[in-house]
């Protein structure tokens, strides 16, 4: 995916103000994984999945020891996104060909889903669901759909053109705290329930990426980040340090922070220091 994906981290060095508290983040470099990578994901066990410039998906454990490789990426077209929420199953999305590929924990292909066979000809984004199904946004019909991995439809939302004044074109979907979130970089972030029912819109029209972080939803813009908790009316903001504008991707897990540049992935231990 060629957008500035993220996941909060180094940007916080300039401080984030939460409930009149100043939050500073201290970082300590732990290790690096040299290489030219286009994107990466991290599962809940700390395994790192990287998409290399040579067209491979490589899996490393939390110590960055190589575990497995998937070599047939180019067979399915240009890779759009990697989904590694489930350590036992990696999901690859090839947007240009409306194809989803499922890999097992050893990066062997176990299933290919041609979405076009199920009348899904223009899928903008996908996301794994909590009940082991798949969310898709059908841009052709402007509907959120949940499907099984055999392609059968579980349910679908109403035509969202009847809900919003503007047409939305989300490029990312995630589940977070019992809701489904859609991100459109031109219009903002949209929250839906697990049945595709619209709940609310957050007008952050310049957001480039969103991620779930504990009980907070985090977004990144070009030069600042925002953090939004469910029980808060407004997001909290922080400026992005200019030295990180050339970082291609950031990821923030519970214990380790990851950053991707043109030469490597860096892993940091971190600590939050909060004072009134």
Residue 165 in domain: yes
The CA distances from residue 1 to 68, 208, 248, in Å, are 22, 12, 10
What per-residue confidence (pLDDT) applies to 145?
Answer: 97
Which pair of structure tokens corresponds to residue 14?
């300039």
Residue 134 in domain: yes
What per-residue confidence (pLDDT) applies to 123?
Answer: 96
Sorted by sequence, the CB contacts under 8 Å of residue 261 that are 6+ apart come out as 246, 247, 248
Angle at 153 between CA 41 and CA 116, to 5 degrees: 70
Helix-strand-coil split of the chain, %, nearest 5: 10, 50, 40
Q: How many domains are contained in the chain?
A: 1
**Beta strand 21-34 pairing with 264-275:** antiparallel
Residue 223 in domain: yes
Q: Which CATH number fits the domain that encloses residue 79?
A: 2.120.10.30
Residue 3 in domain: no
Judge whether residue 7 has pLDDT over 70. no
Judge whether residue 181 has pLDDT over 80. yes
Residue 1 in domain: no
Judge whether residue 36 has pLDDT over 60. yes
Query: Half-sphere exposure (CA, 13 Å, Cβ side) for 188?
Result: 9
From the CB of residue 181, how many other CB atoms can be counted at a distance below 10 Å? 23
Averaged pLDDT, 205-234: 80
pLDDT in tens, 84-139: 989 999 999 999 999 999 999 999 999 999 999 999 999 999 999 999 999 999 99
**Number of residues that make up the chain:** 276
Question: Residue 96 phi/psi, 5° resolution?
Answer: -60, -30
The radius of gyration of the chain's CA atoms, rounded to the nearest angstrom, is 18
Q: Tell me the average pLDDT of the chain.
A: 84
Cα separation of 18 and 231, whole Å? 13
Residue 4 in domain: no
Judge whether residue 25 has pLDDT over 80. no
What per-residue confidence (pLDDT) applies to 245?
Answer: 57
What per-residue confidence (pLDDT) applies to 203?
Answer: 83
pTM: 0.86
Helix (H) or strand (E) holding 201, with range, is: strand 198-202
pLDDT in tens, 232-263: 777 777 665 554 556 788 777 877 888 898 99
Q: By percentage, how much of the chain surpasses pLDDT 70?
A: 85
Residue 43 in domain: yes
Averaged pLDDT, 141-166: 93
**Which residue segment(s) compose the domain that 44 sits in?**
10-275
* Residue with more model confidence, 225 or 186: 186
Contact yes or no for 25/33 (Cβ under 8 A) = no
């Amino acid at each position: 995916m060629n957008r500035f994906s993220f996941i909060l981290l180094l940007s916080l060095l300039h401080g984030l103000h939460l409930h009149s508290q100043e939050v500073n983040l201290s970082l300590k470099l732990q290790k690096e994984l040299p290489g030219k990578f286009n994107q990466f994901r991290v599962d809940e066990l700390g395994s790192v999945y990287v998409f290399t410039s040579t067209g491979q998906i490589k899996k490393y454990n939390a110590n960055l020891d190589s575990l497995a490789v998937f070599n047939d990426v180019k067979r399915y077209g240009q890779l759009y996104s990697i989904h590694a929420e489930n350590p036992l199953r990696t999901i690859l999305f090839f947007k240009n060909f409306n194809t989803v590929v499922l890999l097992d924990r050893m990066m062997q292909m176990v299933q290919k889903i041609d979405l076009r066979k199920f009348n899904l000809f223009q899928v903008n984004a996908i996301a794994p669901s909590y009940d082991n199904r798949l969310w898709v946004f059908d841009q052709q019909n402007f509907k959120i759909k949940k499907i099984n991995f055999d392609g059968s439809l579980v349910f679908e939302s109403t035509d969202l053109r009847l809900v919003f004044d503007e047409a939305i074109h989300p490029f990312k979907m995630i589940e977070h705290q019992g809701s489904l979130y859609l991100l459109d970089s031109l219009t903002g972030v949209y929250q839906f329930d697990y049945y595709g029912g619209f709940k609310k819109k957050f007008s952050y029209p310049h957001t480039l990426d969103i991620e779930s972080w504990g009980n907070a939803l985090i977004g990144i813009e070009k030069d600042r980040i925002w953090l939004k908790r469910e029980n808060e009316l407004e997001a909290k903001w922080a400026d992005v340090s200019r030295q990180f504008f050339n970082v291609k991707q950031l990821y923030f897990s519970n214990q380790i922070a990851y950053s991707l540049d043109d030469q490597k992935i860096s892993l940091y231990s971190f600590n939050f220091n909060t004072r009134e």
